[in-house]
Structure 1
Amino acid sequence: MSVDSTEADLRPTVETVGWVGSAHDGFVRLIDQTLLPGTFVHIDCKNVDQVWEAIKMLRVRGAPAIGIAAAFGALLGARSQGIDSVDSIRSALKQATTSLRTSRPTAVNLFWALDRMDRIAETEASRTSDPNTLLERILTEARAIQDEDRAMCRSIGRFGAELLSPGQGVLTHCNAGGLATSDYGTALAVIFSAVEQGKSVHVFADETRPLLQGARLTAWELQRRGIPVTLICDNMAAQVMKEGRVQAVVVGADRIAANGDTANKIGTYSVALAARAHDIPFYVAAPSSTFDLTLSDGSSIPIEQRDPREITHGFGHATAPEGIQVYNPAFDVTPAALITAFITERGVIRPITREAIRNLIGS
């Protein structure tokens, strides 16, 4: 895995993950988010194992970005056994997608994207005997996933901005911005679009323990865009609501069940409870690909358990007694009853019911 250092990109959005080169000799390039905000570097992943590691270790994170990285990773895998025949490419891609599915369990976009890559390989392999044509079609599909996500981010932003008023304080948890997607993000797309419409908003960003995605990533994104942002500890959210500093909460999502129960970064449920207690609208911004209508409710959403050292040795420093028992779920599930509305690329779902979700998202 090669690393290429570069100066921070000052464009309006960051390209979290992308494909460099041709279908035959290209590779996956991504921002190593574990090093932000202090160091901005790109990592070049040239095989499936490197993409798997990048996803597992949160070098690339955020449900849409994980899906995009996995789609490009599937192409790397498709070439791994040679490109002499369509059958070898199809078989190798299937092995790659099987491996990538084990990287992280909660974000449904990962599995959605890999399902698409499996389908395109099967479909195109039945239509052509030319390995080169098949590889090109696989790359086209992966790029389509990225392009579609970019369009969805912008659409989510437009719909969500209508829910915010000038002068509001908006609280967000974890990172659901450009670093988590292919463009504007989901939750932060709402902020970015509102500002573009001339609405002055002030963001309160939870630090998001234990890995501080809010402090390291969300605050970094907002600051570089010139959007007023105040960083707070996770346990301060209810207090800033009580003080009247926050009038809306906007978060992202990693998986949404058929009834609207929503898995997002650990601590989201607490924020939703505090918002309900203070009569503050709680919005979830997510593309349609984040909805998993095969799951009846949130009790079936798999919750990733992560390394205890993320809590006991945060960023390499011991912060707890040696040998202490640790519970470290990466996500929690917010009940649909606490969510005011879903903001999707197809429109806003409010009130949240199974029927409303099915009508907008599909079966």
Structure 2
Amino acid sequence: MTAELRRRTGFEIELMAPAGASRRTLAEDLAGRCGGSVRPVWHQDSEPSLVPGLGRFLHLTQGFEVRRTDGTPLCTLVDDITLTADLDRRASAPPGWFRVLTDDRRLLRLLARHCDPGAPIEDALTRAAALWGAGVQRHGDVHRLDDESGVTIALAVPLAGERERPCEIVTPPLVKDHRDALEELLGPARALGFTVPTEAAVHLHLDGAPFREPHALANVVRLFAHWREPLRSLLGTNPACRRLAPLPEVLVRAAEEGTDLRAAATEGGLTKYFDVNLTQLLSETPIRDTVEIRILPGAIEAEPIVARAALVELLLERCLSPAPIPNGETGAEGLMELAAESLADRD
């Protein structure tokens, strides 16, 4: 029987453009196929810094939002800095490709609002510079915005190392026909020569509201803690995938003892970069109210993505039951039994 999804789900699918192409290539192809449009957008992320005393650089990279003829969103295509193994790090930046760097998240959000991702690099910081009443200075290929005291606010630098090739497809929440909707994006990507990167993953975003109930949230923690290895085995988690980790022990202990999960998450240093991203469920002001599953392997065909997502959906539905998720001693067989319980409840 073909697996089907019942819940509203958003997908993030990591691909790699062939040499000489980019995520812009796919964006323009998709827009052409549906008679839609492409709009440059900023994608916010961070990376380790080589500057002493500065742990991370925050940056804006160029992405592309694709909309259908009627204006509804088809997808957004963005960079993913975890994808590196398939790139030539010595490659120079192609014309028109750059990024904006800063060291403060508040500045990053302000720059994203006032800098134009579709402008050439020499004009990228112009609008932001007007906010500080400053000019943009050029130093070789680097364009720098300083405040009146000489403190650097932002840099616009060429995007080297083939960073235009990583292409994470971000879908809007899909409520039906998930397989067809994904194939509408992935079929053209295959035709253009896009591939699955070495470190690739697929992420699922499901509506978070049902999992905010204390028993449901505790069950999600139990599922991804006690069944970690069976889950990774059944789903085929990519061992080369980065930014994954087991949930903090203090959070798992709180789920078992029925104590404050939010306090335990803070104590355990919970971030989005675990096997499951629970940060939005534990926030009073979520940016995107979802539970994010991060351990599906990369794929460029809709069928295996939907099949794995359907298994995850059943397991998450089991988490909604008041009955605690048991330990993972029975391995993959026990995991399938949990999924079968949910399937039986549907009938």
Which protein has greater RCO, CA pairs closer than 8 Å, 6+ apart? 2
More helix per residue: 1 or 2? 1
| TM-score of the two chains, using structure 2 as the length reference | 0.26
- More strand by proportion, 1 or 2? 2
**TM-score under structure 1 normalisation?**
0.25
